Every structure is written in structure tokens, then in C-alpha cells.
Amino acid sequence: MFELIGIPPQALFGQLLLGVINGAFYAMLSLGLAIIFGLLNIINFAHGAQYMLGALVSWMLLDYLGGSYWWALLLAPVTVGVSGVILERVLISRLYHLDHLYGLLLTFGLALIIQGLARNYYGISGLPYAIPPELSGGQNLGFMFLPNYRGWVVIASLVVCLATWFVIEKTRFGAYLRAATENPTLVGAFGINVPRMITLTYGFGVALAAFAGVLAAPIYSVNPNMGADIIIVVFAVVVIGGMGSILGSIVTGFGLGIVEGLARVFYPEGSAMMIFVIMAIVLLVKPTGLFGRTA
């Protein structure tokens, strides 16, 4: 039936899968940005660099220590998350009493430094990172071929996104987090340690970016610029979904990945700007974003 509109099904499903994969990364990254923005009120411009660090740490772990992909999946988010905790304590926390703009400038500067250092030491040609042997090969689904690793990325990102959503929306810690996002002063006056919660939240958001970086390493080779490339799109995703909305960033991330994939089939010339066109339209019609609360 697809031949009717002149598109072979292999191409259509191939692009759709690519869209879902990209969407998985958009979702994980915009989720972290949304959580951080919600509680810290800063736009974490270092997010792309921290995603890249996740991939780079995986590569270093393998190359210098022989640590497998599975170790990287655990250790890279922890390492990068701890660096985020230190960053928040030492630098970012000094800016909370100032305008948002300072947080943005600080994290933007940090991103440039991290990416600059990575370029300096590792060049820009990209470091190859092999698919772990357990996940090589693929499945023939009849209408398309699904590489195992890509299936794994979709499942892993869905699980991580939904687990994050669950913790924030359904647990006691999540209730503290939502309450502190609305009124940190009152939450503190109830006896809750809000500064510590802010630090842990930043660490978690950053760890999530690094986790995405590990998942990305075998797909897009490890490259100092990989974060800078994707983060621009992710910011557009966050704007479309609505700044600070948890479910919004997950749904919008996957949705826009798919839309982008379809655009590559039906209108390849415009696929790269598709998300930005949608962003412009959403901003015109609903400036708080699709899932944003209207004040």
C-alpha cells in the first residue's frame, strides 16, 4: 500500500526508527533540562557538554581501563553526576540570588570550556565506540530490519524517562521536589533541606544527560561536538513541550523525533528545520508550550 504514495516501506520504517531513536535522546535530554529548570530556575547550557562527557567517559573507561559498555552505563552517569554536584555547590549555587541570565552565562561558559578541552585532547574526528557484543546483530521484523542496539536504546530511554516521571509524580521525594519548585521558601519552613535537594536534582539531571551520552556512544561516534549539535534541537523541544513540564518533555521529545523522521521521508529538504518551524508556530499559538501551565 505504501507504494501507492511512492514510498518503499523499508525507507519509511527506517526513517521512523531513526526518528524514534533521535526522539529518545531529545526526551532524555529535555527531561533533565526541565527538572533542572523547574527547581534551580537556570537554563543549563552545559547540558550538551555533559551529554558529551557521558560518551567520552565511556570511551576513556574502555580505552584506558578496559571497562565494558555495561560498566560505562553505570559509572559514566555517576562520575558526571558527581561533577555536577560539585559544580552546583561550588559555582552555580552562588548565582541563585541573581538574575536567571547569570546562570545561563555561567553554564554556557562551562560548556565552551568542557568542549574546548575535549577538542584539544581528543580532536574532532570522533572516537569509535563499538556496539557491545551482547547487543550486536538485529531482528528481521518482516517489514524492516531492527538492529538490536537501537531497540535497546529505545527501551532503555523509555524505562529511564518513565522511572523519572514516576519518582517525580508519585513518590514522597517527588512531592517535595514539586512543592519546592513552586515555593522553596515554604518547603524550607517545613523543615526540609531545600539546598541539598537542589544539589541532588542538578546532579541527577546531569547524570541523565551522561546516561544519554553513553547510549549515544555506539550510534554516533564519540565526538567533542556531539552535545553542541544536539542541544540546540533539545532547547527547541523544551520550548515546544513547555519549560519545566516532566511528562511534556518526554512526550514532546519522542513526538518530535518521529515528526522529524517522517519529514525526512516526505520532505527531506525541510527536515532539518522542521522542529524550529513547529517551535515558532507553538510560540505563536501557545507561548507556554504544549504542556506548559498557563500562569
- Residues in contact with another protein by CB under 8 A are 172, 175-176, 178-179, 181-183, 185-194
CB 39 within 8 A of CB 168: no
Measured from the CB atom, the residue of 165 and 176 that comes closer to another protein is 176
Minimum distance from residue 294 beta carbon to another protein (Å): 12
CB 242 within 8 A of CB 291: yes
CB 34 within 8 A of CB 243: yes
Minimum distance from residue 191 beta carbon to another protein (Å): 3
Minimum distance from residue 293 beta carbon to another protein (Å): 8
Backbone angles phi, psi at 289, to 5 degrees: 90, 165
Minimum distance from residue 97 beta carbon to another protein (Å): 9
Measured from the CB atom, the residue of 222 and 250 that comes closer to another protein is 250
How many C-beta atoms surround the C-beta of residue 66 within 10 A? 8
Measured from the CB atom, the residue of 38 and 84 that comes closer to another protein is 38
What SS3 class is residue 105? Answer: helix
Residue with cell 520532505: 267
Minimum distance from residue 190 beta carbon to another protein (Å): 4
Measured from the CB atom, the residue of 74 and 189 that comes closer to another protein is 189
Minimum distance from residue 193 beta carbon to another protein (Å): 6
Measured from the CB atom, the residue of 66 and 191 that comes closer to another protein is 191
Measured from the CB atom, the residue of 175 and 283 that comes closer to another protein is 175
